[in-house]
Amino acid sequence: MKVTVEKNEKVAKMIFASIYPLYLNRLEKNSRTKEELNQVIEWFTGFNNDDLQALIDKKVTFRTFFQNAKIHPNAHLIKGVVCGYRIEEIEDEFELYKQCSQMEKLIDELARGRKMDKILRVDKK
């Protein structure tokens, strides 16, 4: 499937604070913790717990969320399919959608019980 401008805009306008509790609820059902969720988000975006809480309190959109993020240099190692879209095939013009999919993939791996050292990709030299 190909990402469309409309799909990208829809995701860009979503409020991060409305999605975060859904991520957390999903993980807690799978015996994972808020700390682990925040650790994964921090690795991917650079936002620590205080930054994350401030963004939640401000009710920022995913557009603002990712504009302010410092995406991890190993983010290119996040591959796979999320919602029918293969991450590595999402066009550069839809960078925001790609970043959102990458974060979703990390959270999915966490929910599925993958070990943290595998989720927080280490570039093999």
List, for residues 17-73, the tens digit of each pLDDT value. Answer: 999 999 999 999 999 999 999 999 999 999 999 999 999 999 999 999 999 999 999
Confidence tier at 2 by pLDDT (50, 70, 90): confident
* Residue pointed to by tokens 């994350």: 52
| Domains, in order of start, for the chain | 5-117 (1.10.8.290)
Task: Spell 25-44 as b/e; 16+ CB within 10 A means b.
Answer: eebeeeebeeebbbbbbbbb
**pTM, 2 dp:** 0.92
C-alpha separations of 124 from 76, 77, 102, 118 in Å: 13, 10, 19, 12
Tell me the three state secondary structure of residue 45. helix
DSSP 8-state secondary structure symbol assigned to residue 15: B
